[in-house]
Amino acid sequence: MEEKAKIRLGISIGDLNGIGCEVVLKTFEDPRMTDFCTPIIFASNKTISKQKNDLGIDINYNGIKEASKAISGKVNVVNVWNEIPNILYGKATEESGSYALKSLRAAVNALKKNEIDLLVTAPINKNNIQTKDFNFPGHTDYLASELEGESLMFMVTESLRIGLLTDHLAVKDAPAAITPELIRNKVRIMEKALTMDFGIRKPKIALLGINPHSGDDGVIGKEDDEVLKPTIRDLSDEGHLVYGPYAADSFFGSEGYKSFDAILAAYHDQGLIPFKTLSFGKGVNFTAGLSKVRTSPDHGTAYEIAGKGEADPGSFKEAVFMAINIFRKRKEFQKLIKNPLQKQKIKRA
């Protein structure tokens, strides 16, 4: 078997009452998927068996006690729990949140111990997963606390990449959170990811304005003039290919985004609304800046269709392929920087 087929791809199962398990099983129902990776699902044999029977999904799997026992060429299921959870499709319950957390913690622990090479996370419910020990607004912040590095929520497809200056933060709090230090940090993380994970030598980055029309010279808010513009100017003077701020309302409709390798949006919906409009079902959420590769689909638990067998696995499958590609790009990058003859070729802008 080729080396590339030996990538150990860990999967956290997400909320059991949502569509997470369904899109995971549908993705690996196609036996050809194990040619690209060794999938390792963190759940339990009984849970997977019930879901596949409920949903009519034809898939064989190999039950194991720990990720290190995974068999290449098979779909592996790590038995994180032995009991049978009470599955209520379409309902946000405390129990389904607790099992989502058990799966996520087991997968992250295996990732930290190098028992898996990368992680793809199925959707969680950000409310019912909360405990006194898990007080994070989502996967991104939790992973940033567990893994080395600084995180950037980065929504990506083959032709569109949008990162966020602020992510799971109330809109009213976003402007005050956007400082020159934050902008510099997110630009640095994005540049590194574009170079190391996507193979772009001199990435061009566009920043979207905070206010409508980027403030209209201070008429509609002063943040763009006082924070964004000076910081962008300083970064440009230092040699970074950073441009803006661009008015968000026309930037995507005019296809201005096609002139850049990536875009930094000021806040969550400013970036995710155009991203999902242009690429829903094909997009991937990539947590850039961490020591390990993590991706997820661009949708949530979709309780409204859970248990009906109607979920489209397209975005989850894209998340699998994206994670594998980024993992390989990162390996290639590490080999290049170890070769003194290649160092000049991979310098960042």
The overall pTM is greater than 0.85 = yes
Domains of the chain: 1-148+291-313 (3.40.718.10), 152-283 (3.40.718.10)
Q: Cα 216 to chain center, whole Å? A: 34
Residue 196 has pLDDT above 60, yes or no: yes
Rounded to an integer, what distance in angstroms lies between the CA atom of residue 93 and that of residue 282?
29
What are the structure tokens assigned to 113, written together? 């111990």
Residue type, 163: G
Asked if residue 230 lies in contact with residue 185, where contact means CB atoms within 8 angstroms, the answer is no
Asked if residue 29 lies in contact with residue 55, where contact means CB atoms within 8 angstroms, the answer is no
* Range from 56-65, 264-273, 275-284 carrying the lowest mean pLDDT: 275-284
CA-to-CA dists, residue 140 to 36, 53, 77, 134, 290, angstroms: 25, 32, 24, 13, 10
Asked if residue 149 lies in contact with residue 197, where contact means CB atoms within 8 angstroms, the answer is no
CA atoms within 13 A on the CB side of 271: 29
Mean pLDDT on 330-341? 78
Sheet holding 293-297, edge to edge: 62-64, 76-79, 38-43, 8-12, 118-121, 293-297, 284-290, 149-156, 161-164, 262-265, 205-208, 242-246
pLDDT bracket for residue 139 (50, 70, 90):
confident
- Summarize pLDDT for 297-316 with one digit per residue, the tens: 999 999 999 999 999 999 99
* Range from 76-90, 151-165, 213-227, 304-318 carrying the lowest mean pLDDT: 213-227
- Summarize pLDDT for 91-130 with one digit per residue, the tens: 999 999 999 999 999 999 999 999 999 999 999 998 889 8
Nearest to 10 by CA among 335, 333, 293, 237: 293
- Looking at residue 342, its pLDDT comes to 53
